[in-house]
Structure formats: C-alpha cells, structure tokens
Amino acid sequence: MESLILILYILLATTLVGSLLSILRSSKPSPKLPPGPVPLPVIGSLLKLGDKPHKSLAELAKLYGPIMSLKLGRKTIVVLSSPALAREVLQKQDLAFSTRSAPNAVHAHGHNKYSVAWLPVADQWRNLRKALNSNIFSGNRIDASQNLRRQKVQELIEYVGKCCREGVAVDIGSAAFKTSLNLLSNTVFSINMADPTQDSVQQFRHLIWQIMVEIGKPNLVDYFPILEKIDPQGIRRRLKSHFGDTFQMIGRLIDERLELRGLGKTRAESDVIDILLNIIEENGEINRNHIEHLCLDIFAAGTDTTSSSVEWAMAELLRNPETLEKVKAEIEQTIGKGKPIEETDIPQLPYLQAIVKESMRLHPPAPLLLPRTVETDVEVYGYTVPQGAQVLVNAWAIGRDPSVWENPTSFIPERFLDLDVDVRGRDFELIPFGAGRRICPGLSLAIRVIPLMLGSLINSFNWKLEGGIKPEELDMDDEFGITLQKAQPLHVVPFPV
C-alpha cells in the first residue's frame, strides 16, 4: 500500500513539474491533435483501456472518429480505425510511420536493440529483413519447403487420427501450434521442437503466449517513464524470465550447430541457422545476438498467430454447420473425400480461401498490428500526430466497421467470393498482416499453411463439439495479448469421414 502511495506521489509530482516546464518552454501554438476523450489529471484516459484494448478503442472510435488521440499518462496515443486512415499511414506516409514504438518490456535482454520486429528502419533492420526475405520467405525457398509442410500436416492428421480412434477430443489450437512450431523449428534448426505424437507442446505454447500477454499488457512504465527502474507491475521482470528461457533453448541449439561445423560436419542442405551463421562468417552484417533474437522473433511471431488462425476458423465452422458442409462439399468435389490436400490444390478451393479471409476479418491475430511511432510531427487529415506519439491501427475495428462490411459481425464467407479483396496489404479493409514496409514478412508462408491445415482437418474427419455443446452455444470470447487468442480453447471430437 505504502509503495502504491509513493508511486502516486511520484507520478503527481513529475506530471506537475512536466506540465509546468512544457508551459514555460512552449512559445509555439500547440498542435491540432485528433479528437479524443478529455483526459483525467495525471493518468489521462488509462482507465478507459481495460483488458481488451482492441474493443475499448473501437468503442471510443465510434464517439471520436477514425482518427483519435488519447492521453495515457505522459504519452499520446493516436488510433486509426478506418481503411482510408490505415492507407494514409501504412502506405501514403509509410516511411514517416515505419518506426516501431517498442514497449519498455521488450528492453528485457536488449531485445529492442536486436529484434527485427522492434528495431527502427535503419541498416540493422534492413539487414535482418534481407536475411529473412531471401533465406526463409523468398518464393523459391517457400516452394522448396513444400515437402516439409506436407509432412508436418500429415503428422497433424495422424495425431488427430489417433484421437479419433480413441474417441477423445482434440485441442485444435494446441495441435495446430505443434504443427506450426515443428514447421518453423525444422525450417530453422532441422529438428522437431515438439513430439508430433504426444501432447507435449503445452509448456512451450504457454511460454509463447505469456510473451504475447506481457508485451500486450498496458504497462504503467510506458506511460510514466520515471517508473522504469521500479517496473511496478513486474512486466519487464517476467518478460525477462520468459525471454531467458527461450534464449537458453535457442542458444543450446546454436552451440550444437557450431560444434558440428567446427568438426567439419556440414549438412547436405543448409537450413536457416546454417545460412545465418554463414552470413556472420562472410560479411559480418549480423552477429550471434541478432541470430538469437531473430529466432525468438520467428518463434514468437510465427507460431501462435498461425495456430490461433486455424483455431478461430475451425471454431467459426463448428458454429456455422451449413458453412462447414458447404466447404466439405467443395473439397470433396475438387480433391476427393479423405484424400490429402496439396498446396497446389488451394487455388482451386475458393470457398476454403474465403473462409480463411472471413475468419481473419473477424479475428485478426494481431488486432492492433504492432505499434508504430513518428520521429517528427506528422500531418494526417488536417491533424497533427505529435513526435513520439504511439500510433495504433485497429485492424479488429476496421474488420467490423459497418460502413465497410454488411452484417459486420456475422460469419459470411460468401462475401469474399465476388470481392477482389486480399490480405496482402493492398486492400486496407482487410489487413491482418499489416501493410507497407513493416508488413509481416511471414505472410507468404502463413497464407499457404493456414488453408492447408484447415482444409486437411476438414477433409480428413467429421467433427462435433465436445460435451454435446450446441453450435450456437460455442463460446467465442477472446483474450488479448499482443495477439488475440480464443479465451476458451476449442475442443472438438473427430470421427471418421
């Protein structure tokens, strides 16, 4: 209690001194900020954020408009909630808005200084994006790893087959997480990080989810930098421990590879870690720290986002049995009942693709994208986004905007059948992967993996909800980290087709 009172005193005192100083310093007129709620003294609008900021910010945008500003403690936040404004900042003024606003918590283990997701757009970031784009996500590389994805999806189907024979429910998010994790761990290290036949993935999944939760949690330190040393909510301390656990695992794998290379044992086909170690030896553009942090980025950004996309889409299908029947029929007619789906089949499955888009519209895995900031004052639609403000694009609100989407909260994949709207960052009404130069580099991989996993699960089994839950009773509530998870994991019982 005493420490809380002390924190409040410190906040009050620094706010008063800060305000006094800025009044004394300011000779120029104050910028025209976007409209927003009137801030309370000291804390501003912090109390309005709640534990689901994507929803509370969408509600506030209904009152204040598609560009609004909020004062949270000492920080100004600008939130954009329409396709036109998303286009303005992510495309037209992309460069001005391409710096990340790294939360204080990601300073743990110096992650902000090495991470491709948090570095500003400068040489280090360019080198890392180049390493990612040419070694993991280039068209050739992705084509070449098709076999790996076929094999991992086959393992997923075998695991579900075992559950089917035993008559037990499958935790879809967890099974899809294991598949995404093994896909990425094989791409990077040529190993399975999770046993494909066992339920052994929960611990790592929990670790990744805790990282997302801690990064996404509103942190007083971000709004009152004076509290940095105290870290009153313990967010940076906990994230440090989660990062530490992940780095230990990654570091061990890198050491093993260095040892093998030291003994002259090279792999017939280089994986990502080999290629990155080669880059260190050849041109020194990156160092070991970059590799460790890049691996953390890949596992944190690539596993949970992919698996929760599959889980949300399956949940929507189980809640909408007619849609499930319709997509089953499409796959059966095109490929054949129970047969494995190939990536090359996906373009022939427009309804399956529409389901993935519709699910990402309603449940974008990163509802506020990743936060950005501006390094100087920038004009947007006649308002000033002040230097240092945090800029959030509410992709969740845009996906549910009634002026853009008819029946915005209903799951209607048919809407995409005649609509030339894609998720690749060109159509700003649907931007689950962001847009502009900081667009998700994993997009090309994710848009192959998600329909492949989903289509294979649909075509290989029939499904019913566990415990006799009726479709309309299925809990669709979400939980906010920096990504969005289903609050209640989806448990469904597979039975033979």
188 in contact with ligand HEM (CB under 6 A): no
Distance CA 477, CA 425 (A): 27
Distance CA 84, CA 69 (A): 17
Closest to ligand HEM by CB, 74 vs 178, is 178
Closest to ligand HEM by CB, 332 vs 427, is 427
Distance CA 30, CA 16 (A): 18
- Which amino acid belongs to residue 473? E
435 in contact with ligand HEM (CB under 6 A): yes
305 in contact with ligand HEM (CB under 6 A): yes
302 in contact with ligand HEM (CB under 6 A): yes
172 in contact with ligand HEM (CB under 6 A): no
392 within 8 A of 398, measured Cβ to Cβ? no
Query: H or E element: which one contains 479?
Result: strand 478-480
Distance CA 4, CA 15 (A): 16
309 in contact with ligand HEM (CB under 6 A): yes
Q: Could you tell me the two tokens for 230?
A: 């105290």
446 in contact with ligand HEM (CB under 6 A): yes
Q: Using CB under 6 A as the criterion, what x/- string covers residues 241-280 for binding ligand HEM?
A: ----------------------------------------
181 in contact with ligand HEM (CB under 6 A): no
Closest to ligand HEM by CB, 78 vs 117, is 117
Q: How far is CA 48 from CA 45, 391, 495, in A?
A: 5, 17, 46
User: Does the annotation flag 164 for ligand binding?
Assistant: no
Interface positions, 363-402, toward ligand HEM (CB under 6 A): 365-366, 369-370
Q: How far is CA 327 from CA 77, 79, 235, in A?
A: 42, 37, 43
Kindly tell me which residue out of 80, 221, 397, 440 binds ligand HEM, with binding defined by CB under 6 A.
Answer: 440
460 within 8 A of 487, measured Cβ to Cβ? no
306 in contact with ligand HEM (CB under 6 A): yes
Closest to ligand HEM by CB, 76 vs 394, is 394
Q: Using CB under 6 A as the criterion, what x/- string covers residues 121-160 for binding ligand HEM?
A: --------x-------------------------------
| Strands of the sheet with 99-100, listed across from one edge | 67-72, 75-80, 390-393, 372-373, 99-100
Closest to ligand HEM by CB, 74 vs 357, is 357
Kindly tell me which residue out of 73, 83, 442, 481 binds ligand HEM, with binding defined by CB under 6 A.
Answer: 442
Helix, strand or coil, per DSSP, at residue 480: strand
83 in contact with ligand HEM (CB under 6 A): no
Q: Please, what is the minimum distance in Å from the beta carbon of residue 483 to ligand HEM?
A: 8
Pick the piece of the chain touching ligand HEM (CB under 6 A) from 68-76, 198-206, 224-232, 301-309. Answer: 301-309
Pick the piece of the chain touching ligand HEM (CB under 6 A) from 81-89, 336-344, 433-441, 468-476. Answer: 433-441
Pick the piece of the chain touching ligand HEM (CB under 6 A) from 37-45, 80-88, 193-201, 295-303. Answer: 295-303
Q: Please, what is the minimum distance in Å from the beta carbon of residue 35 to ligand HEM?
A: 24
Helix, strand or coil, per DSSP, at residue 77: strand
Closest to ligand HEM by CB, 109 vs 438, is 438
Query: H or E element: which one contains 461?
Result: strand 461-465
Distance CA 454, CA 175 (A): 12
Q: How far is CA 447 from CA 114, 313, 398, 454, in A?
A: 27, 13, 20, 11
Q: Please, what is the minimum distance in Å from the beta carbon of residue 393 to ligand HEM?
A: 7
| Strands of the sheet with 170-171, listed across from one edge | 170-171, 491-496, 461-465
Among 340, 375, 292, CA closest to 458 = 340
Query: H or E element: which one contains 390?
Result: strand 390-393
Q: Please, what is the minimum distance in Å from the beta carbon of residue 319 to ligand HEM?
A: 20
Closest to ligand HEM by CB, 129 vs 288, is 129
- Which amino acid belongs to residue 187? T
Kindly tell me which residue out of 78, 286, 301, 385 binds ligand HEM, with binding defined by CB under 6 A.
Answer: 301
Distance CA 259, CA 288 (A): 15
CB nearest ligand HEM: which residue? Answer: 434
Helix, strand or coil, per DSSP, at residue 476: coil
Closest to ligand HEM by CB, 44 vs 365, is 365
Kindly tell me which residue out of 286, 298, 317, 349 binds ligand HEM, with binding defined by CB under 6 A.
Answer: 298
Among 293, 286, 277, CA closest to 127 = 286
Binders of ligand HEM: how many residues, by CB under 6 A? 26
Q: E strands within 209-356?
A: none
In this structure, is the dihedral angle defined by the CA atoms of residues 112, 113, 116 and 120, taken in order, positive or negative? Answer: positive
Closest to ligand HEM by CB, 385 vs 465, is 385
Q: Which residues bind ligand HEM (CB under 6 A)?
A: 116-117, 129, 184, 297-298, 301-302, 305-306, 309, 365-366, 369-370, 432-435, 438-442, 445-446
Known binding-site positions: 440
Q: Which residues are annotated as a binding site for heme?
A: 440
